[in-house]
Structure 1
Amino acid sequence: MGIRVATPEDSQAIAEIYEPIVRDTPISFELDVPSAAQMRERITVTLQTLPWLVSEDEHGAVNGYAYASRHRERPAYQWVVDTTAYVRADARGQGIGKGLYGELKAVLVDLGYFQAFAGIALPNAASVALHESVGFTPIGVYRDVGFKLGHWRDVGWWQCALRSAGTPEGAPRPFNSWSAEALT
């Protein structure tokens, strides 16, 4: 398994991983499956400020991805991110999610972030297990917050301290100033 920074050219593979999750499950609260062009735009915009990583199998095919997004808009939240990870259906249970999260967290620390959050549509035992295995702890549940596939859905929230709380030395650096050679 290799992990690298996503490129716009990964948009088709990422869209294919995400499509059945949006279409067939309550895991994502999106109602319409995004196209490869929409994914390309999301990747391009995200990479200006935050990391988006992909995992590749032994044949070079994208088998998972993870990225960070802004947690909230107010300036005091600037050292905090939300995180997301998805793994291709035939590649789940092989440590890909753990590998992606390990790299993502390291990049976020290097950029200057302090906390990461993950919202998980419940129930989702596999996602809960993944997040807890990489250091996230449960902090609460939003009850009946999303309506999808004919039912109201809860979202659990998990938090991971990326570094000990302290006074930030400045705003986090934008990802587009980060060197991809730092990936292990």
Structure 2
Amino acid sequence: MFRVRDATPDDASACAAIYAPYVAGTTVSFEEEPPGPEEMAHRIAASQAEHAWLVAEDADGVLGYAYAGTFRSRAAYRHTCEVSVYVDADRRGRGVGRALYTALLDRMTGLGMRLAVGGATMPNEASERLHRALGFEVVGTFRDVGFKQDRWCDVRWFQKRLV
């Protein structure tokens, strides 16, 4: 059993550890150097200032996290947020990502967001399944938009109306 709660600065190390394998060993993230705990604490604080950063935890610790941020800086986009979720590789497939995203989307709705968007590097069947299961629709694919691990990568974009 796990619970979802707001992240605190004390969660920065666990979030950094969950994220590092995605950065170092996959094209899921386009970052090329995993951020450390100090940078992750900064990201948690920045996300919570206007949106939210949530973690799922059980008795053994943090299982994953989800956050929302600004989609674009122009004022007209202020009711749209970009969302992401990362789950520890050993804990995937147990409903953690779904629980995190559901709680995050509920929070964003409560904050007055009208639309949530998320991007996923392709191929990524797990992310695609999660987005579709939660009511996101595919709105397009940017072809060859990122270069990582010696190859060009596509990013598929999803959106979900919140209100």
* TM-score of the superposed pair, with normalisation by structure 2: 0.98
Stretches of structure 1 that go unaligned for 5 or more consecutive residues are 164-184
Q: Which residue of 2 aligns with 1:172?
A: none
Q: Over alpha carbons, which structure has the higher Rg?
A: 1
Between the aligned partners of 1:86 and 1:70, the Cα distance in structure 2 is 18
Q: Give 1:46 shift.
A: 1.4
Correspondence 1:69-148 to 2 at 5 A: 69-148=69-148
Between the aligned partners of 2:12 and 2:51, the Cα distance in structure 1 is 17
* TM-score of the superposed pair, with normalisation by structure 1: 0.87
Q: Deviations over 1:70-127 (max 9, x none)?
A: 1111111000000000000111000011101111111111110000000000110011
The number of equivalent residue pairs is: 162
SS at match of 2:69: strand
Q: Deviations over 1:104-162 (max 9, x none)?
A: 11111111000000000011001100111111110100000000000010000000000
Q: Give 1:44 shift.
A: 1.2
Question: Aligned residues: percent identity?
Answer: 43
Moved over 2 A (4+): none
Between the aligned partners of 2:131 and 2:61, the Cα distance in structure 1 is 24
Stretches of structure 2 that go unaligned for 5 or more consecutive residues are none
Q: Which has more strand, going by share of residues?
A: 2
Q: Give 1:2 shift.
A: 0.3
